[in-house]
Amino acid sequence: MSERPEGSAPALAPPRPTLAARLAAALRPSTIAWAIPGPIFHKEMWLSGRRGGTYLIRCLYTLLLIGIVAFVYTVSRVESYGGSVQQVQQFQDIAPTIGYVMAWFQYGALVLAAIIFGAPLICDEKRAGTLGTLLTTPLRAWQVILGKLASTMVQLVILALVSMPVLLGIRLYGGLTAQFVLGATALTVSAAVLAGALAIFHSIGAKRAPAAAAAALFSFILLQGLVPLVLLLLMKLNVAFDPFLFAAGSSPGALGVMYAELRPMAFGVPITYVWVSAACLNVVYTTLVYGAASVRLRLVLREEGEAGATIPTAMPPSARSSSTPPPLPTTSRTVGDNPVYWREAQQPIVRRAWQMWAAGAVVVTALLWAYIETGWDNLHTQVLHYPVIIIGLSVSLLLSIFGSAGQFAGERESRTWDALACTPLSAWEIVVGKYLGFLRRQVLVPAVVMAHFALMSVCLKVNPFIMILLPLAILAPLAATAATGVYFSTVFSKSVRAAAANFAFWVGVFGGLPMIAGILAIGVSNEEPLFAVALFPNALGMAIVTATGLVRDWDGSDWANRFDYYGFARMHAPAFLALFFGYLVLYAGVSFFALRLAANRVARTTGRRG
């Protein structure tokens, strides 16, 4: 290689191509064929084809779909009668119900699957140290996001196609239109792709996949309720608009209104426009989220490149010559007898301070708006307090379900499990330390709920005893969901799989038990005891039941000191307290049993005492 002669002029850099030339090169068919879907797409598809979890999810999805169809069919056919002609007519009545239930199951399952598939795509790359490798390739940030999102779309489309033969087969009975099948599929796929894009967006900034999954689920719920909320505010301002916009601005609303096409229901809503508009809105949301994710990944890659190219500056001579050691920190760092709990307790509740302030401003604004809209004379009614309980407990449970699943799986993914396994602590001390440290960080949302009821108690709008019973009704299931999350974290090597298993378990407890009760109630003259038992462990239901005897009725009447147990019975305080004590004992037993199982697994894998 020849060197430039001394004194000669430096070589000039080639001129930058014009904008027209760059656009022509970008729009060249060979360039598009290489960039879309791109090598990232091929890599992700190759890896997903070699993972056993991909086929396990497809198998579970198919089995659940068949089980739900069989359940709805069995319940609908239990009172069948008449000859062949009458049975054909009954099939025509059953088909819309089966199709509608399948559509809702497919919608919820694919949205959750998209979040599970998309949450680990970027944060796992960062944790494995392979994200910086992308800097050595000619790929741009939008190509990386496109490849990962396209691979997620393929998995979702495969799951969506599983139910298509069943839906089209049900059409043979009549009562189910092709437009309903097409509309339900369009709404489901568009919503699932949006959920996957949100999961990838949050995966860029998250440290672990469960945090990205929880943030994506919250963001998806907020986006689906954005248009109805804006329309509700416009209605308050007496702005006239077509009522179908409520359903057209939300895919769950559109899916609910589509039932009018299957039944003679007079909604006065153009069904076709509703699902087309909702699906197109999901596409618009997905495009915006995709652009935001590309920009965010570009900034992360730029920071990664600058951090890798940074040369540390030398220590100044005065600092090197000084023999005085640096001062010790003034804060207390006493570890105590439980170092695992101490380490977990040091973790911040929120990663950034501005997030805390932003969330606090949103919550305070929402509560003030609710107080003003309700009015001082109606602050004692259930119309204000029930939504606060439901929203607060739902958020707490979701944070606990997803966050607790990364306790041990996250240690393995962060390569800190070996250091933790070298400690002389017992397996029980490690498990309980991580469990209590996680619970300590989950008090923020319950504290907001109880601050609301503390204010209402001071204003004499609710019974002050709610400050004793409601915290127990919230903390008991919160502790149990965290304990099962810790257990699943010891079972699965990936935190996102542990989060999915924990979520599926509690969906089965809260929703599966009533479904089983419905099956067992077929042909039973008195089915109320079955449903009363099946609804007993329901966290949201028991929180509302607890509030029924401590919050005034809708009509503003005084407290009757009676607790309404799902409409099955009106209990006086002693009877309800006995039932409530059993509820607490049940969740305490679940928590202890799950932690004991987790400690046993840790003891077996590390060879230490339990």
Per-residue pLDDT reduced to its tens digit, 343-387: 777 676 666 676 678 778 888 888 888 888 888 887 887 888 888
Torsional sign, CA 229, 235, 241, 244: positive
**Is-contact 446 396, C-beta < 8 A?**
yes
Strand partners, 571: 563
Residue 344 structure tokens: 């977990």
* Token pair 């729009």 in the structure block, residue: 27
Q: Which contacts (CB < 8 Å, 24+ apart) does range 332-341 have?
A: 338/429, 338/433, 339/423, 339/425, 339/433, 340/420, 340/423, 340/425, 340/429, 340/430, 340/433, 340/434, 340/437, 341/432, 341/433, 341/434, 341/436, 341/437
* Cβ atoms within 10 Å of 561's Cβ, excluding its own: 13
Q: How many CB atoms lie within 10 A of CB 68?
A: 18
pLDDT under 50: residue ranges of the chain: 1-2, 266, 309-315, 317, 319-322, 328-333, 556
**Residue 415 is encoded by which pair of tokens?**
């390569």
Three-state secondary-structure class, residue 562 = strand
Q: 200: number of CA atoms within 13 Å, CB side? A: 33
Region of 238 on the Ramachandran plot (φ > 0 left; ψ -120 to 50 alpha; else beta)? left
Q: What's the pLDDT score for residue 478?
A: 93
- In angstroms, the Cα distances linking 245 to 190, 229, 277, 286, 395 are 18, 11, 9, 20, 27
Angle at 383 between CA 378 and CA 384, to 5 degrees: 75
What one-letter code names the amino acid at 579?
A: L
Give the dihedral of Cα atoms 486, 491, 495, 501; nearest 10 deg: -80
- pLDDT, position 590: 95
Beta carbons within 10 angstroms of residue 139's beta carbon: 17
Tokens 């707490």 sit on residue: 396
pLDDT of res. 573: 86
What crossing angle do the helices spanning 573-606 and 427-440 adopt, rounded to 10°? 130
What is the sign, positive or negative, of the torsion defined by CA atoms of 125, 126, 127, 132?
positive
Q: How many residues does the chain have?
A: 610
Return the pLDDT at 288: 94
Burial class (CB in 10 A: 0-12, 13-18, 19+), 457: middle
* Burial status of residue 596 (CB atoms within 10 A of its CB: 0-12, 13-18, 19 or more): middle
**Per-residue model confidence (pLDDT) at position 422:** 72
Our measurement of the distance from residue 140's CA atom to the centroid of its chain's CA atoms, rounded to an integer in Å, reads 29
Q: Give dist(CA 263, CA 259) in Å, integer.
A: 6
C-alpha count within 13 angstroms, C-beta hemisphere, residue 118: 39
Sequential DSSP letters for 321-332: H--PPPPPPSS-
User: What's the CA angle centered on 505, arms 49 and 395, to 5 degrees?
Assistant: 105
pLDDT of residue 529: 82
CA distances from 259 to 90, 182, 221 (A): 18, 13, 21
